[in-house]
Structure 1
Amino acid sequence: MLERDRELAELLAASDDAGHGWGSVVLVFGEAGIGKTSLVRAFTEAVGADVRVLVGACDDLMAPRALGALRDAAAGTGGPLERTLAEGAAGEAVFAAISAEMSQAGRVVLVVEDVHWADDATLDALTYLAGRVDDLGTVLVLTFRDDELGTRHPLQRLLGALTRARVRRLPLRPLSPDAVARLAAGSGRDPRTLHAVTCGNPFYVTEVLADTPGEVPETVADAVLARVRVLGEDCRTALEQLSVVPTHVGLRLAEELLGDRLDALAEAERRGIVEVRPEGLAFRHELARRAIEGSLPALRRRTLDRAVVRALLARREPDRDRLLHHAVRSDDAETIAAHAPAAAREAARAGSHRQALTHFEAALRHPDRFTAADRAGLMDDYAWELYNAHRFTSAVRAGQEAVRLYEPSADPAAFGRALVRLSRHHYMTGETDAAEDAVSRAVRVLDPLGRTPELASALTHQGALLALTGHSERAVRVLDQARRLAGEHGCPDLISLCLNYLGVARADLGEPAPALRCVRESLATALHAGSHESAARAYTNLAELLYRFGDFAGLDRCVEEGLAFTRECGFWSHAYNLDVHRCLALMRRGETASAEQGLRALVEGVDDPGMLYVYSVPPYARLLARRGDAGAEKPLIQAWHRALRQRSLPGLAYAGIAYAEWAWLARRPEAAGAVRDLLLPFLDRPGRESFRAELLWHLARSGPAAEPFEGCPEPYAASLRGDWRTAAEGFAAAGAPYEQALELAESGELGPTLTALGVLDRLGASAAADPVRARLRALGLRRVPRGPVPTTRTHPAGLTARQSDVLELLAEGRTNAEIARHLVLSVRTVEHHVAAILDKLGATSRREATETARAAGLLGLGPAAPTRWDPGSPGTVGFA
């Protein structure tokens, strides 16, 4: 515990705070061997007797046990979490059980070690808990190896969701030369050489010091193996057997594997190589286990894994995840075929979708072990897990294979179900024609079977596609039929989906109020029934409608709730959609840097967004186009062509309007004309007025002026009438500074035009600002502002420009309301910025953030002044 006093004090302070009702998340991280487990053990031993400590660890298995760490933590408590997990529950039931467990009398500390190995269901449960630790007065301690986290590591989802929690970050650093010298005192080792070779890694240092004096081994593995070589042969043989079992070996399993040789491990225990823990035998550190395992020849490892398989199979109820880990490593096809399908489906039910994929893939590597019907079912379920994993193209291929295998079978119901799923996979890749063909075929296959639940599902998805592609009248008829049939069979998930897409269809029929009521009823139905995927779809369609109808306050609420729900439940494609709409709202409010940052993460961070490409790429490319980036053209063209193939209204509108804006900014009127000819007829119907108005507004800047149409919403109608002042006031009232600036630039008056330039410069919209400068010169202004001086786009603490502004005002002691007034933002937006600042600075309070920023020299970098134009004073100039 050398040089860990501060970290231990932080953990104990978190426990004390929890005693006063202030729960928190504590992140303990660093490289392997840095002392995370030692620190956590010292903490759990030091807390008071009135603190209930639950400890679990994640497994380094091929497919970690679903909710394994939580099962270990709750084992023997007899509480609600242990009971719920024993019943095989998942999702909401597990979330409720965690809350109930943490709400029991007294302080609770939950430690989950090695969360970099966590399964999806565990990550979802921890994300849920992390958002509620403050209310529950719980301390959640998570340990992980930060050097193993790439930008796409699943744990990043949990870490990214911690903005709502009180978080303490405890990075563990290597030991200093002085600390290494203290450890080496009297060992005969040269402390400087020891520190240079080990880089101060505590485990490496202690392994070297535990060996006989001599040269310092160059690697951790060398140090471990040097100690093992001096052990007796029986002890080494036993260690080799244990080394193929990750994490720990239960005492029962150790006895089954070693028999009389178990006693031989006493020598290794005395030398500190293995430990006896409550959960069983374990190496002192995972690095030691890996060093021994890595030294074994491949055939020897295979033999030892086979021994573990035999021992586990001898049990009445073997641990399937451990069994399959060793069966795959030893290429035991018979065991894999017998157990992988069930393990995959159990993992899927628990919400551990990555683990389900791993088990399905293991099973499908041995197709000859299954009948055609069983293989079809495996492939169909595998395709669904690929869909959940965002691997939409692969899902289509697997779904097509399932349909091919099912077709000759005598099970039309299963064949129809596979066709419905294949339709969904096709739609998510943007292949709408293929999706319609598959679901129509499903209806034809299932209709002769009568009024079955499978037919209700097929009709639901057929109606959904009709609603999404603008066939609204027919969609209403099909969805009403599907809803009645779903009601007969008590299928709340299908009832929810029917209501959801009825809302989409009614919006397209020009009925906004009934449309929103339908989608909100869909959401309530799904949440009440625990139909999580249906609820996730309801959140996304509600966000799309709120954006279309211009209800940005409602959109903020929907996105906040929806993102929390979809991230907790692991619906990442739905979270992606909601995140797009969060960024669209930021764009609208002129928070360009935050919007661009969020959209870039979506566009560059997901390999296969499928049909959602036409949601995220167009707004991102619009922001690039506004600042004159030539890289905007290619993705916009791709998005436009994909949207035409996809034929959904939001996709066509987002891509087409973005393309029209780019055509104006890039001085490409022929591109604007192509969009006009293809998209305007599609938007010329009730329910699409907002999209049509925005498109005409941009097209009018590239070519002939457009006239407002019947039902054209303000302030677009005012602009199309040529009333720039009313339009500017309308956009200002709506909190849309970019659109307001473009209207002011049409004034032909010096003051408003100069104000427009200031707004566009502040927003970084240089492509739109350049023609405004030309207008100012034409109006006789001799010294036209040059625009913002180029500065580095990288803030030392990773803050966006707007977050830097908020930080400056925080340092002045301003309240959120005062900051909102000063920067012309909503209070809710300021709250989000403050939470992000605390997160990035590793602070738990506004005061701590200010002190950290001041100490790091982050203040005084220059907040942007708010930009306003007073319509009552045409000559007013107010720009940054």
Structure 2
Amino acid sequence: MQGALDVAGQGAGRTALVCGEAGIGKTSLLTQLVGGNGVGRVLWGGCEALFSPRPLGPLYDMASAMGSKLQALLGREGHRTELFSCFLSELQESSDPTIVVLEDLHWADAATLDLVKFLARRIQRVRALLVLTYRDDELGDRHPLQLVLGDLPADAVVRVPLLPLSEAGVAELARQSSHSAEGIYATTGGNPFFVTEALRAEGLPVSVRDAVLARAARQPPAVRALLDLAAIVPARIEIEIVEAVLAPAPEDIAAALASGLLIADGRTYAFRHELARIAVEQALPAPMAAALHARVLAFLEQRGQGVAMSRLVHHASGAGDAQAVLKYALQAGNEAAAHGAHCEAAALYGTALVHADTLAPADHAQLLGDLSYQCYLVEQNDDAIATRLEALAIWRELGDVSQEGRALRWLSRLNWFGGRRQQAEDYANQAVNLLRDLRDDEAYAWALSNRSQLYMLSGHTAESVEWGTRAIELATRIGSNEVLAHALNNVGTARYAEGEEIGKAMVEQSLRISLANDYEEHVARSYVNLISTAVKLRDYAQALRQIEDSAAYFAPRDLDSWTNYIRSWQARLDFERGNWDAAASEALRLVRARGVAPITRICALAVLARLRQRRGDPGARELLEEATVLSRQSGELQRLAPVAAAHAEEAWLRNDGAGVDELVVLAHAMAEQRGDERSLGELRYWCLRLGVAEGGPDGAEAPYALQIGGHWKEAASAWAQLGCPYEQALALLEGDEPAMREALALLEGLGAAAAASRCREHMREAGVRGLARGPRATTSANPAGLTARELQILGLLADGLSNADIARRLVRSEKTVDHHISAILRKLDVRSRSEAVAVARRTGVLATEGVGERRRSDRRRSDGR
């Protein structure tokens, strides 16, 4: 920690991740660090275990130490990007190093996690140490903090995992406090807080919880009342609340502080450790806890302004006050949604829904719709559909045709997002037919635009333009900017995909309208359609510019559905440009993540399956089978074509044209019918190679048209200009011997082992001689396809050797070793050296026959040198 702070003081900021179980000493460590340094400024904030965390709670904790501009921005809706930039500017303006502490991020709201991402990606520019603490044992696979930590820049991160005390350490603490150490280590596991509590209890209780409660029970009634009140408020309780609710005598406050359970900072009281607070809180009888919550709620309501809605929800829930929960959960949900904290908004609306039986039917249906929308934004699509169906039933019972039509339109959208094309079509048609007589109703304009959107997504350009134009005209007439932005996006994307510049301009107009009106979803759709269409058109430079622009917009917003979708297209872009390691890493993350929408998952599955096919890595077939099922459900050519191409390429790599999947012919026919040059070019190329369909170059994408027409040299040149090395290699493979040798070199450079093997086979059939051997037999003799050298290096990694040590052992350059380790990580589909060793041991790679003997032999030879 001190080393990271020293580096930060020189102008190269660092992020420190301090993790460990509750009671392990995270706060104690930071207190020691701060107390032992003459740091110019310390900004300290923490997250609280409220029913729903307050958006940007840690920033509010720090506000009093920040400038007036930042304080003015706090609480203003829609200004998170400006707020984050202002915070960063204040750090940059400081000439002395600053320590920024964000505690207990396992309880963080989405807005705070966005702040972490924003700062951590820019921390290297400032004289600051950003310290993030969290309980790593409370982070499940789906915890949002996991994704944030995975995206932090590795070269600026210091990881400080805190471990329990050793048995000898526990014995020493017991000796210093004149207690017996017997049984303490076994009961506490070396957790410092548990150890301390057990020793303070003057004899080991049955459990540490009992140690805390035993100490609390020894206090006089007035002191215990103060402890009970403090226990129902997570993290800390303001002194003014204690005075208003209990009015304790000074001697009682002094006794509470002397007990060692409670501490004070001049403004608040807090338990010395959160575990102690939880123990006291859980021991409270339910009626007493409810009464305390009710008294705190009454005080906060009287105080009025400046009270976070999430606190009111917390105490209303604790008090069992259904009306108050409903009131404040709705307000807190609206506040969270306005701040872009859509996960928190969904949770709060869900809390309100528990008590919605007291609402009027129309208000109940509106709440269901609001909850559905928030779930949609954060990729909880099944929940979004379920709540929207409940809303639909209420609107139908009320006879509100306009609202019923809106619900049907949303169900169409949600089913499309879930990969259920036919259900999406059915709901879309129901919405149009129901609203046909409401010619000037905005709901009808939405139904028209939704119909245009579905046609655009399925590649029916003429129909999309027709329906979208009607929506644009109606939206303009009734003055609905939101429908106008939506419809412009649909029509523009359909025309942009045809190569029409006017189409791109329409999507950009939609983006401007959406940004001006803060239509988050429509801004996201605009970026998504600009990026995906640019990739389809192979305008990679344009796609990269839009990805960069969109990153700035998405950074402070909780829009998981759209962020993941863009990342899937980033993976496809990297795949097509030959940046295969980056593509594999991003695609694998999406494939492993839970809750990712099928339309996003299809893209990631196709990318990862094709990479594994080309490299000869295991697992491609399983990925392709799942992608096939999902793409068939979608019914859209843009999902089917990449999967069909993967099937065709797999058959070519096996040299088995007779075994090609029927999806290839189906997708090829769809591409012909739609006139989709991109899909048609690739699929026709493979169909002709495999002999499963006929056709010429007409209608195909230009480079493929050249290949199909027999102009391999011009095709290779076109692919090179586009920046597609794999396709360039396939074009060269159709040429003369020098071209084929160049193709082989390209494939080997990409790491496309299976494709390179197929290339050699083709070259031998063409009479080429003097080809170098491909991967040795040992590569295919082990489960991961590692070469002998890679197996050897993997064994040395298992022995704990560094890259430099391995380089010295093998008499190779460290750079060469780095390349080998990168290949090992890629083939094992892991992200770290330790994970590679663990996976290799689990799958038997390190147990492959002869590996241990080769490692021992290599040691003897290298030691002799």
Residue 334 of structure 1: aligned partner:
323
Whether 2:21 is the aligned partner of 1:28: answer no
The partner residue of 1:547 within 535, 545, 549 is 535
Residue 143 of structure 1: aligned partner:
133
| Structure 1 position 506, deviation (Å) | 0.7
Residue 502 of structure 2: aligned partner:
514
Whether 2:409 is the aligned partner of 1:431: answer no
Residue 860 of structure 2: aligned partner:
none
Distance 1:90 1:438 in 2: 36
| Structure 1 position 456, deviation (Å) | 4.5
Distance 1:464 1:126 in 2: 35
Distance 2:794 2:538 in 1: 33
Alignment of 1:682-721 (within 5 A): 682-684=670-672, 688-703=676-691, 706-721=694-709
So what's the TM-score if we normalise by structure 2? 0.82
The partner residue of 2:200 within 210, 225, 229 is 210
CA RMSD of the aligned region, Å? 4.3
Whether 2:313 is the aligned partner of 1:320: answer no
Residues 610 and 620, structure 2, Cα contact 8 Å, conserved in 1: yes
| Structure 1 position 184, deviation (Å) | 4.7
Residue 573 of structure 2: aligned partner:
585
Deviates more, 1:183-192 or 1:31-40: 183-192
Deviates more, 1:124-133 or 1:741-750: 741-750
Residues 275 and 282, structure 1, Cα contact 8 Å, conserved in 2: yes
Tell me the SS of whatever aligns to 2:146.
Answer: helix
Structure 1 residues 457 and 45: alpha-carbon distance in aligned structure 2, compared to 1, 3 A threshold: farther
Distance 1:442 1:797 in 2: 64
Amino acid at match of 2:373: W
| Structure 1 position 695, deviation (Å) | 0.9
Whether 2:385 is the aligned partner of 1:396: answer yes
- Between Structure 1 and Structure 2, how many residues are aligned? 808
Distance 2:111 2:671 in 1: 42
Distance 1:150 1:30 in 2: 14
Residue 557 of structure 2: aligned partner:
569
Cα-to-partner distance string for 1:201-254 (whole Å, 9 max, x where unaligned): 333333334332x34x57543443343343334433432343232211222332
Distance 1:583 1:662 in 2: 20
Residue 219 of structure 2: aligned partner:
231
Cα-to-partner distance string for 1:764-793 (whole Å, 9 max, x where unaligned): 543772574476378485987251534379
Alignment of 1:135-534 (within 5 A): 135=125, 137-163=127-153, 166-175=156-165, 183-184=173-174, 186-189=176-179, 198-212=188-202, 214-215=203-204, 220-260=208-248, 264-296=252-284, 301=289, 304-306=292-294, 308-309=296-297, 311-312=299-300, 315-316=303-304, 319-329=308-318, 331-409=320-398, 411-443=400-432, 451=440, 454-483=443-472, 486=475, 493-508=482-497, 510-534=498-522
Structure 1 residues 622 and 409: alpha-carbon distance in aligned structure 2, compared to 1, 3 A threshold: same
Distance 1:660 1:308 in 2: 67
Residues 238 and 269, structure 2, Cα contact 8 Å, conserved in 1: yes
Structure 1 residues 655 and 132: alpha-carbon distance in aligned structure 2, compared to 1, 3 A threshold: same
Cα-to-partner distance string for 1:400-452 (whole Å, 9 max, x where unaligned): 21122112436555444433333321221123343344445445666655645
Residue 74 of structure 1: aligned partner:
63
Distance 1:630 1:170 in 2: 35
Residue 115 of structure 2: aligned partner:
125
Distance 1:255 1:97 in 2: 36
Residue 590 of structure 2: aligned partner:
602
Residue 844 of structure 2: aligned partner:
none
Residues 80 and 100, structure 1, Cα contact 8 Å, conserved in 2: no
| Structure 1 position 376, deviation (Å) | 0.4
Deviates more, 1:730-739 or 1:339-348: 730-739
The partner residue of 1:556 within 513, 520, 544 is 544
| Structure 1 position 377, deviation (Å) | 0.5
So what's the TM-score if we normalise by structure 1? 0.80
Distance 2:797 2:567 in 1: 20
Amino acid at match of 1:425: L
| Structure 1 position 492, deviation (Å) | 5.3
Whether 2:3 is the aligned partner of 1:10: answer yes
Structure 1 residues 416 and 139: alpha-carbon distance in aligned structure 2, compared to 1, 3 A threshold: farther
Structure 1 residues 600 and 12: alpha-carbon distance in aligned structure 2, compared to 1, 3 A threshold: closer
Cα-to-partner distance string for 1:170-227 (whole Å, 9 max, x where unaligned): 3334456676566555422356975665454333333334332x34x57543443343
Residues 15 and 109, structure 1, Cα contact 8 Å, conserved in 2: no
Cα-to-partner distance string for 1:717-764 (whole Å, 9 max, x where unaligned): 333234445544544554434334444555584983696288359625
Whether 2:525 is the aligned partner of 1:537: answer yes
Cα-to-partner distance string for 1:72-108 (whole Å, 9 max, x where unaligned): 2214756223222244455445445534554666555
Residue 41 of structure 1: aligned partner:
31
Distance 2:642 2:339 in 1: 36
Distance 1:673 1:197 in 2: 60
| Structure 1 position 379, deviation (Å) | 0.7
Residues 26 and 168, structure 1, Cα contact 8 Å, conserved in 2: yes
Residues 13 and 126, structure 2, Cα contact 8 Å, conserved in 1: yes
Cα-to-partner distance string for 1:450-472 (whole Å, 9 max, x where unaligned): 64555554443333222222232
Distance 1:194 1:344 in 2: 46
Residues 455 and 461, structure 2, Cα contact 8 Å, conserved in 1: yes
What runs of 5+ residues in structure 1 fail to find an aligned partner? 1-6, 824-828, 842-860, 862-880
Residues 157 and 567, structure 1, Cα contact 8 Å, conserved in 2: no
Residues 697 and 706, structure 2, Cα contact 8 Å, conserved in 1: no
Q: Percent identity?
A: 32
Residues 777 and 784, structure 1, Cα contact 8 Å, conserved in 2: no
Residues 344 and 360, structure 1, Cα contact 8 Å, conserved in 2: yes
Structure 1 residues 773 and 110: alpha-carbon distance in aligned structure 2, compared to 1, 3 A threshold: same
Residues 134 and 165, structure 1, Cα contact 8 Å, conserved in 2: no
| Structure 1 position 693, deviation (Å) | 0.8
The partner residue of 2:773 within 785, 792, 801 is 785
| Structure 1 position 42, deviation (Å) | 4.0
Amino acid at match of 2:310: D
Structure 1 residues 86 and 345: alpha-carbon distance in aligned structure 2, compared to 1, 3 A threshold: closer
The partner residue of 1:620 within 601, 608, 630 is 608
Residues 337 and 369, structure 1, Cα contact 8 Å, conserved in 2: no
Distance 2:620 2:813 in 1: 39
Distance 1:454 1:448 in 2: 11
| Structure 1 position 646, deviation (Å) | 2.6
Cα-to-partner distance string for 1:602-658 (whole Å, 9 max, x where unaligned): 112123413323322222222344455785445535534543443434213223322
Deviates more, 1:333-342 or 1:305-314: 305-314
Tell me the SS of whatever aligns to 1:434.
Answer: helix
| Structure 1 position 666, deviation (Å) | 5.2
Structure 1 residues 105 and 496: alpha-carbon distance in aligned structure 2, compared to 1, 3 A threshold: farther
Residue 878 of structure 1: aligned partner:
none
| Structure 1 position 553, deviation (Å) | 3.1
Distance 2:661 2:357 in 1: 57
Structure 1 residues 78 and 770: alpha-carbon distance in aligned structure 2, compared to 1, 3 A threshold: closer
Cα-to-partner distance string for 1:681-733 (whole Å, 9 max, x where unaligned): 32226862122111112222322575542353343233323444554454455
Alignment of 1:813-832 (within 5 A): none
The partner residue of 2:52 within 40, 44, 63 is 63
| Structure 1 position 381, deviation (Å) | 0.7
Distance 1:152 1:493 in 2: 33
Residues 120 and 153, structure 2, Cα contact 8 Å, conserved in 1: no
Distance 1:579 1:264 in 2: 57
What runs of 5+ residues in structure 2 fail to find an aligned partner? 780-784, 835-854, 856-865
Residues 757 and 773, structure 1, Cα contact 8 Å, conserved in 2: no
Distance 1:650 1:797 in 2: 45
| Structure 1 position 163, deviation (Å) | 2.1
Structure 1 residues 334 and 479: alpha-carbon distance in aligned structure 2, compared to 1, 3 A threshold: same
